[in-house]
Chains A and B, each alone.
Chain A
Amino acid sequence: MKVVLDHLTKRFPSRSKKGGDVIAVNDFTFEIPDGQLIGLLGPSGCGKSTTLNLICGLETPTEGRIFFGEDDVTHLPPENRGVGLVFQNYALYPHMTVLQNILFPLQNLKGEARPSKEDMRRRAEEAARLVQIDMLLDRRPAELSGGQQQRVAIARALVKTPRVLLLDEPLSNLDARLRLQTREEIRRIQRETGVTTIFVTHDQEEAMSISDLIIVMKDGFVHQIGKPQTVYDEPCNLFVATFLGTPQINLFEGRVENGKLYIGQDAVLKVDCADREKLTVGVRPEGFVLQEDGPLCCALQAVEVMGRDHSVVSTHPAAVSTTIRSIIPSEETPQVKSGSVRFRLKPFKTYLFDAGTGERIPFSAV
């Protein structure tokens, strides 16, 4: 089932009498293709949860429309939309067993749609088997680990065979190891069921690792939509570039003069774009290459050992942050502990942004 968002806008009236409305979602238009896993990504307060609530019907949009396939569901109540929702804290009913929790949505069905008792039981067990909790059916949520509760919540959302599965920060309550495991699990379940899935997260790594498409939001606006690798490689503006990637992209103040890109006094690249007095240069940590006579001269601070790679921490007068961090394969690491290091920059890991608007300035190295 494809999901179409058509000029979707949600305004909340301001609490104080003076201030204007708060725009949580601003003119969101996108068509989510059928059977894909979509990561809705952004910092907290960016409107991603509101978008999810609009899609599932817990909130009604101020403007715009929502379609599931060809059906206009904008004004349908949540129960008639055929959505499954997994809450951040799972919202499993604590007084019911796992089986009762999974059965609950089925027992709400009325008339024709209501399956027979055996049928309900069979479907609940099927859903439990899909998320691999079929041996825990008689337990209560309090007797389960976080990861198991998560699976129960997914089973409960899937048991009605929803047209769209929505996950609100599904991994944020799990510890790091379980998070890694569970996100693969979500990917597997989504593949097996083929249900169009939208999940909200503020963790870029999480979104990039399992999504077919990611939507990067901030302040109610959609900044960029695309395949994870594309968005990472071709960020459309400064926000998207800084939000994606760990360690974060390194930012410098720079300028273009006579076809050369300068960071401080160092002419780092020859570029083909017009001269500019001031711009922001972003370099991904993996975009630095150690080179004896490299153009970018930095003061070495520390080398952090990370096993496969080393993280070289240094400073540069034109850097926006206090330190710059580069990832260097461990065999190329400098042997010295202090002094200056020189880098060459990989052109396709280097991005130029307008110093005022943060918009990306296209260039190619010559």
Chain B
Amino acid sequence: MQKKNWKAWLYLLPAIAFLSVFMVYPLIDVFVYSFEEGYNSASQTFWGTGLYNYSYVLHDPYFLQAVKNTFILVIITVPVSTGLALLISLGLNSIRRLRDFFQTVFFLPYVTNTLAVGMVFMILFKKTPYSDGLINLLIQFFGGQSVDFIDGPYWAKILVMCIYTVWVVMPFKILILTSALASVPQDYYNAARVDGTPPLRIFTRITLPMIAPMVFYLVITGFIGAFKAYSDEVAIFGTNLNAAGMNTIVGYVYDMLYGDSGGYPSYASAAALILFAIVLTITVINLMIGRKSTQF
């Protein structure tokens, strides 16, 4: 065993080299930066070490806004997108005709450029001198007051953000869930039919437990993905997310590094590590729940 070990390491070498240079080293560096107070990237100097960066970030109203936005996004979009995707997959699974067609349609957002989708949402929601946007036209048609979704009240902006995110993340979930549903052996359903199981009970007692591992996988990756949201916000609200009040944690990190108010790698590192801690906690909780209910 010992003799052959060097060979294994040799095979692993290319991956290890790349990962250490581009993943491990930056991670350690971020960790170090986050404790270096007043670090200046140009002169490579800092005053001292301590928790000041964390304290600054946690007291920064922009960061707190970003945390709030991110959490709202996560809490709304993950369950809604997973639930909707499950409904659509069940629908797709129970039709014969046009199934391939609908599957393609539902998968289209996945292969569409984020910014192009952003443009479509602009047309739907943005007020311009010429039009109030398609949605507002609809609201007016039904006798409602038009709302400025892009520059208007906070709830309207969050709403657009959530709809957008749900729409973007759904195709992948539908893809995974339709294949998970299709892989449940027909015999289970036949057995249930012979035993006279009502449809709802078939779903809750057979279908759902059988696809539970996939649902949990989607929830976990959904949480992680939603916590990392950034580009979608830019696509809709533009680059100055702080001004729009729609920043996310990743957006805050980016702004701290490169934005107009940027140039603070220490603050950015501290914020990034706070995000890491949040994601880690949530994922561990998810895994603990998941392990309990998908074990067989």
Asked if B194 is at the interface (CB within 8 A of a chain A CB), the reply is yes
Instruction: Known contacts A91-B188, A93-B188; decide if A80 and B196 are in contact (CB<8 Å).
Output: yes
Most A CB atoms within 10 A — which of B194, B205, B212? B194
Q: Is B185 an interface residue (CB 8 A)?
A: yes
Contact B196 A93 (CB under 8 A): no
List the A side residues contacting B197 at CB < 8 Å.
79, 104, 108
B190–A105 CB distance below 8 A: no
Instruction: Give residues of chain A (18-37) contacting chain B, Cβ–Cβ below 8 Å.
Output: none
B binding-site residues for A, Cβ under 8 Å: 185, 187-188, 190-191, 193-198, 201, 205-206, 209-210, 212, 296
Task: Establish whether residues A94 and B194, one from each chain, have CB atoms under 8 Å apart when the complex forms.
Answer: no
**A56: interface (CB < 8 Å):** yes
- Report how many residues on chain A are interfacial, defined by Cβ distance under 8 Å: 23
Q: Are A95 and B188 neighbours in the complex by a CB distance under 8 Å?
A: no
Given contacts A108-B198, A108-B201, A142-B296, contact A91 B187 (CB under 8 A): yes
Given contacts A91-B185, A95-B296, contact A58 B195 (CB under 8 A): no
Any chain B CB within 8 A of the CB of A241?
no
A78 to chain B: which residues have CB within 8 Å?
Answer: 193-194, 196
Task: Scan A50-64; emit 1 where CB is below 8 A from any B CB, else 0.
Answer: 000000111000000
Question: A residues within 8 A CB of B198?
Answer: 108
Q: Find out whether the CB atom of A105 lies under 8 angstroms from the CB atom of B193.
A: no
| Segment with Cβ contacts to B, from A82-90, A204-212, A226-234, A338-346 | A82-90
Query: Per a CB cutoff under 8 Å, which of A79, A93, A109 touches B193?
Result: A79
**A140 on interface, CB distance cutoff 8 Å:** yes
Complex-state Cα separation, A89 to B296, whole angstroms: 17
**Residue in contact with A104 in the complex, picked from B185, B205, B209, CB distance below 8 Å:** B205
Q: Is the CB of B187 within 8 A of A79?
A: no
Q: What residues of B have a CB within 8 angstroms of the CB of A79 in the complex?
A: 193-197
Bound complex: CA A57 to CA B191 (Å): 11
Looking across the interface, which residue of chain B has its beta carbon closest to that of A109? B196
B190 to chain A, nearest CB (A): 6
Report the bound CA distance from A58 to B191 in whole Å. 10
Most chain B CB within 10 A, of A57, A77, A79, A83, is at A79
**Selected contact of B191 from candidates A85, A142, A160, CB within 8 Å:** A85
The CA-CA distance from A91 to B195 in the complex, in Å, is 12
Let me know if B190 and A91 touch, CB within 8 A: yes
Chain B residues closer than 8 Å to A89, beta-carbon distance = 185, 187
